[in-house]
Structure formats: structure tokens, C-alpha cells
Amino acid sequence: MSEIKTHYRNCNICEAMCGLEIKFQDKEILSIKGDQKDPFSKGYNCPKATALQDFYTDKDRLKTPIRRTATGWEDISWDEAFTEITEKFKSIQNAHGKNALAIYLGNPNAHSLGNVMLLKPFSKSLGTINRFSSASTDQMPHHVASTFMFGAGMLIPVPDIDRTDFMLIIGGNPVVSNGSMMTAPNVIGRMKAIQKRGGKIVVVDPRRTRTAKIADQHLFIRPEKDALLLFAMIHCVFANKGVNLRHLETMVEGLNDLEKVAETYSPETVAEFVGIDATSIRTLADDMMAADSAVCYSRMGASTQTFGGLCQWLTNVLNIITGNCDREGGAMFPQPAFDLLRNHKKGHKTSFGQHSTRVRKLPFFNGEFPVAALAEEIQTEGEGQLKSLITVAGNPVLSAPSGHKLAQAFEGLDYMVSVDIYLNETTKYANIILPGTTGVENSHFDIFFNSFSVRNTVKYSPPLFEKEDEQRSDWEILKEISERMSNTAIDDPMRKITPEMLLDMELKKGPYGDQGMSLEKLIDNPHGIDLGPLKPCIEDRIKTAEGKVYLFPQVYMNDLPRLNAVMAKPARDENYPFDLIGRRLVKSHNTWTQNSERLVKGKNPCTLEVHPEDARTLGIKKGQLLKVSSIVGEIEIEAVITDDIQQGVVSMPQGWGHNQKGTKMSVAATQPGVSMNDLTDANRVDILTGNAALNGTPVAIKIA
């Protein structure tokens, strides 16, 4: 046998960019540990990293194309697959128009260097406007707020967690998620460092999360009422004459208009709806104003709800008016080596609202439509109906709202293709599945997550193992389809372009290019390079036409009547008296880690948390099977009784339900979990941004 070797790379499963040290011999991985020399994660890694080994060795994983037939799945060659796909796509588009074809992009695309580089030309080659992605079940409110306030959807301020003195976390659980839209390995260590230096952490959440248990204070809040709390805090800042714009004084527009509107949202006015008393709200605002530095971080619970757009806008507003935007210890803008905003011109017109979905008129933004509209766009007949679909590294049947209805829609498509390594709950409806390489077989560079990082660092890793002869990289699959759909000439020089060539060009032209930044330099530094802490940079980074920060864009003013209606005490549907919210799990990431035996072993994590008083009223005992129903579906799930959940609220994790017929994920299929998205309603969205409202779903509960 050959010698034991060491490979360094970043984990590509979640957003944290944890550096890994992988020991291997020949083609066998011996161990995966945190890289002590990584300048960002400094040896930290979470249990999910072991799944990289499991993905590589998984016996269920596909490596060559398969085609669905009347008698089952059959192996086919790559050329045969690409030929059929091209012919079918072109035939459908010739018959029904270019937009009869749709694209769905799953979360793993954001973690893939090759896919990030190739998705734009790939989408262009298909010629359709109908693109959907997991972003509209997750983060679209962040991008819309940054577009209207700062001029670019990727110009998202992140908490300077390593230097803040006061951190307010609304609807986020970064200790478990390792940060989200806040790339930060070892959040628990970073939070304890805040406390060690005399700072304070407050968590506002309908559930006492692991993050809340570490924090100095936790406040229960009623689901989907976060925007009212944020407005009340903003009211207090104005009322106490606490506005301090610091160096943004000459940049901020709309302060007076905002003050007038905020007058109507006093703590006393919103308290009964929010579920937090007026005194506590005022104290929270006072603490933020009094801190030497402070930051408000609102995440999943504040984004994936019917007022997600307002929540992320108001979060930015609160940070700005308390003097904590673009300032050490506040909300700051990363300056990544690969700068996605390098070619973004100031005053570039946003695509927001340029188009809308055919059926519900939901907004188009950032080149895509909300995934909450995908099923109806397939099933509603008439001009513009979707007839064909290609999914890339996504499982929306489990991850998107009303997933079971998406499954019905997929079954009715004329033709479907999936780029995926598994035969899963979504890909089983495809006519052809094209499996790419994954994890340790791919080179790695974090394009998106360096743009959300709490420290400026940079790192590239080549593949640990070369792919087998019959395998194709994910980006090679997209490139081949693009070239065939575009009839690219054999001798076209673009055929020779690789992700590494594009990466090297961007590094050299980026903000550190004058310091010799290049792909070669990164290869010579396998642990990564520390580029330093975040720095004030808004004057250079802002992309609005006049270089202004717009505090009160009209789109948010237009959405306020919808928020105000909440305080008009609308009648609650007595048939569905509970609010359902999601929860994160340390050893799970969306839907794509459940076939890792090491990550799913142990007790069932897919349970419904119920408050003791609600359990007593309904006669529920620990471990009982419950029937949970919503307006769109019903599931059965095991009960856990805990006062960590607010009374009237129940919680379960997302990403489960891998026990459906016709799939081939043998480990996941043995798990007892069910899909939360059989209960979530695709008609419940944030009207402003189109983001799915996965939290706050009205449900009923009874003993099964």
C-alpha cells in the first residue's frame, strides 16, 4: 500500500467554510478532522464534515446516466443521454415556446465552484426566463433589501461578531447552523468571546434554541411578529433621540419619512401582538443604543415568513440608525478576493418586478421566480404553461412548500431531467438522471460564502480524488448541455474554458490582485490566506446611482398596510389553532445529508415539540404519535413535550420524509422522519419578495 497522505480543503456542506484536514491512503479516506492551520476556522468543524466521506463511498450514489422506462430504470451512455435531452428540450420549446422549459437550482449549487461559474451560460443557452431556486425558500428578503437600500442584491451586511459588544439575534440559531448569511465557523466560541469581553447576547425566538440557551437573555415572540418588534425598537430610537448615523450622515436618505411612520409602532401598541411586554421592548432598544457597538442579526425565522421582506429591511434600518452599519462591531460588508460585485455598475437597474409569474403574479428577482409558484405554473393550462423541467442538485419535493403538490406537478410534465447523484423524491419523476461528481472529487472555492463571511479569508482546494473514467463533473454536464443547445462549434475556444481559468482571472482582477492574488498563490497556500478583519468600506462598495443609502424605499412603504392588518385582530381559524415553525439540527443540512449513516444514527430527530400546557390540554404524552394537519395536508409525527417551545407553537425539522416509494436512498429510507413541507402552503408567501413562508403555518393537532 502507498503512504498515508494529507489533503486540505473547506467543507462544502453548510455555509461555515470550516477548514478540514483529510488523511487518506490510495482512494480510501482514513479521517476527517478540523484543520488547525486554517486561519478562519482554526481547527473547528462540526459533525456534518464526515458526510463528505459517506457521499464518496455511498453504494446508492449514481455515477452514470440512467433513463426511466415503463419497466424501470436503465443505464444509458452519456452521449445517448445528452442527445435525447437536447432533442426533447428543443422539440418542446419549438412546440410551446422557449419559456415552456424551466430550471430549478438546489442549495448545493451555491457550494460548487464549477456550477456557480457555469450556471449563467447554462441558463442563457436554454433560452428560458423560467428559473426557480431554493433561494426563494430561504434568503430572498436579504437580497431584495440590499438591492433597494444599497444598490446590489449581494451587498449584504453581516454581523461583525468578533468585535461586537451587543448582539441581538432574531429568528436565528447560528450555534446549530454555524451561521447563515453570516459565514462564521465556531459560532459558539465566537459568542462566548462576546460574553468574556463583557458583551451581551439576546435571542428573540418562539423557541428556546441552543443559541438562546447560551445567550444572556431569551425572549419568546409570536411567530411572524418580528417586523412589529423591529418597528417598536426603531420607534424607541427616534423617541429617545438616539439616532446616530456617524459617517453615514451625508449618505442616508429617508430618515424623516421613516421617523413619521415609526411613530405609530410604539412598544405599547405592538406588545399584545408580539407577545413581549412594552418594558422589555424598551429595554432591548436601550441596550442596543447604549452599547459601544451593537448589531441586529435576523435570519430564517425572520426571513421565511409572510413578512420576511419587511423584517430584513427593518433589521438594516435598526443597524443604520443606531450607528452600527459599516462600523467595527456592527453590520459590515465583506471584501472577498472573488468579488461578485466587481462588474456591478452603480445605478444598475434592478430586475425586481420586471416580470411576474403567470398565475399569481409573484415578483421576478435576481433572474428567477419564487419556487412557491412552480407547481401552479406547471399545472395551470394556457399560454406560457411549463411543460418541461431540469433540476440541478435539488430536491424541492421535500424542501419547497406544498412539496407533495410539486410531486403531482412533476408527474404531469412532458419531459424532465435531473442532475443529481441520487434517485430521490424529486429525481424519481425525471426521464433521465445525470449524476455529477461530488464533494472530495471536485475542486473547491467558496464564491458566495466569502461574500457573507465575518472575516476576509480566501482558500482553494484541488480535488482530493480524480473522478473515474465514466464520471462527469457537475459543471461538465451543464457545459455539455449548453453547447448542444447552443449548437456551439467544435472549434469554439469557449469549449476549453474551465472553472479554474475563470477563477484565476477573477482573483487577479479582484481587490487583492495588486497584492499578487491568483490561483497559483492559493494552491501554494493550501490552508488558506487570512485577508484580515472586516473594514468600513460602504463608500467604495455601495452601488446606488447617487451613492446614497435609501432608508425607506417605496416598496416597503407600500407593504405596510399588510403589516398593519395584523394589528386589526383578524379572526384566527379555530380549525388550525397552532403555529408550526421549523428547527435546525446539528447533524442535518436541508435534505442532502440523510443518506449518511453516521449522521442519522441515534434517536429519531424528526419530532414535534409541544409545550407542556398544550400537551396537557390535548392529553398528549411523550412519544405519542400525533396527527398534524394544515389546510394542504396531514402528517404523523412523534411528540416531544418541552417548555423550550412557546405555548401555542409547535416545531419540527425540515428535510425529512425520505421513505417514499420509487427512490433509492437506503439509509434515509429507514428513517422515521416525515416532510414538514407536506404541511406548508405554497399560497403562504411574503407578497413583497415572493419568499416562501415556511414558518408560522397554521396547524391542528390530535392524537393519532
Least confident of 242-256, 387-401, 653-667: 653-667
Chain centre to alpha carbon of residue 196? 31
Q: Return the pLDDT at 513.
A: 96
Give 278-311 pLDDT, tens digit per residue: 999 999 999 999 999 999 999 999 999 999 999 9
All three cell numbers of 650: 409547535
Q: Mind listing the domains of the chain with CATH numbers?
A: 66-111+121-134+358-434 (3.40.50.740), 140-338+546-563 (3.40.228.10), 571-703 (2.40.40.20)
Distance CA 284, CA 287 (A): 5
- By CB neighbour count within 10 A (0-12 exposed, 13-18 middle, 19+ buried), where does 121 fall? middle
Could you give the CA distance from residue 139 to residue 173 in angstroms, rounded to a whole number? 15
Is the pLDDT at 112 greater than 80? The verdict is: yes
d(CA 137, CA 400): 7
What is the spatial distance between Cα 157 and Cα 516, in angstroms, rounded to a whole number? 27
Note the pTM of the prediction, 2 decimals.
0.97
Give, rounded to a whole angstrom, the gap between the first and last alpha carbons of the chain: 56
Rounded to 5 degrees, what angle do the CA atoms 312, 212, 583 make? Answer: 70
Phi, psi of 209 (to 5 degrees): -75, 175
Contact of 164 with 295, CB cutoff 8 Å: yes
pLDDT at 568: 85
Name the residue type at position 498: T
Collect all residues with Cβ–Cβ distance below 8 Å to 443 and sequence separation of at least 6.
113, 114, 460, 461, 462, 463, 499, 500
**DSSP 3-state of 673:** coil
With a pLDDT cut of 70, the percent of the chain lying above it is 100
Q: Is the pLDDT of residue 114 over 70?
A: yes
Beta strands in 315-453 (DSSP E): 331-332, 388-392, 415-419, 432-434, 444-445
Residue 72 DSSP SS3: strand
Pick from 397, 467, 421, 442: nearest CA to 115: 442
Give me the chain's average pLDDT, please: 96
**Closest to 139 in 3D by CA, of 366, 369, 300, 10:** 300
Alpha carbons within 13 A on the beta-carbon side of 133: 21
> For 142-163, what is each residue's pLDDT tens digit?
999 999 999 999 999 999 999 9
Q: How far apart are CA 438 and CA 52, in angstroms?
A: 8
Residues 359-410 have pLDDT tens digits of: 999 999 999 999 999 999 999 999 999 999 999 999 999 999 999 999 999 9
- As to burial, measured by CB atoms within 10 angstroms (0-12 exposed, 13-18 middle, 19+ buried), residue 256 is exposed
456 in Cβ contact with 397 (< 8 Å): no
Backbone angles phi, psi at 403, to 5 degrees: -55, -35
pLDDT tens by residue, 487-509 = 888 888 878 899 999 999 999 99
Residues in CB range of 427: below 8 A, 6 or more apart: 391, 395, 418, 420, 433
Q: Is 227 left (phi over 0), alpha (psi -120 to 50) or beta?
A: alpha
Q: In the structure, what pLDDT confidence band is assigned to residue 357 with cuts at 50, 70 and 90?
A: very high
d(CA 509, CA 504): 9
Q: Which of 247-256, 345-354, 528-537, 650-659 has the lowest mean pLDDT?
A: 345-354
Closest C-alpha to 205, from 286, 298, 327: 298
How does DSSP classify residue 513?
G
Mean pLDDT across the stretch 346-365? 92
Give the tens place of pLDDT for each residue, 669-701. 888 889 999 999 999 999 999 999 999 999 999
pLDDT score recorded for residue 570: 65
Q: Which residues pair with 149 in a beta bridge?
A: none
Reported as a single tens digit per residue, the pLDDT across 61-109 is 999 999 999 999 999 999 999 999 999 999 999 999 999 999 999 999 9
pLDDT band at 572 (very low <50, low <70, confident <90, very high): confident
Backbone phi, psi, residue 683, to 5°: -80, -10
Helix or strand run (H / E) with residue 478: helix 474-486
- Note whether 508 and 518 are within 8 A (CB): yes
> Which amino acid is it at 689?
T
**What is the per-residue pLDDT for 571?**
65
Mean pLDDT across the stretch 119-135?
95
Q: Is the dihedral of CA 145, 150, 153, 154 positive or negative?
A: negative
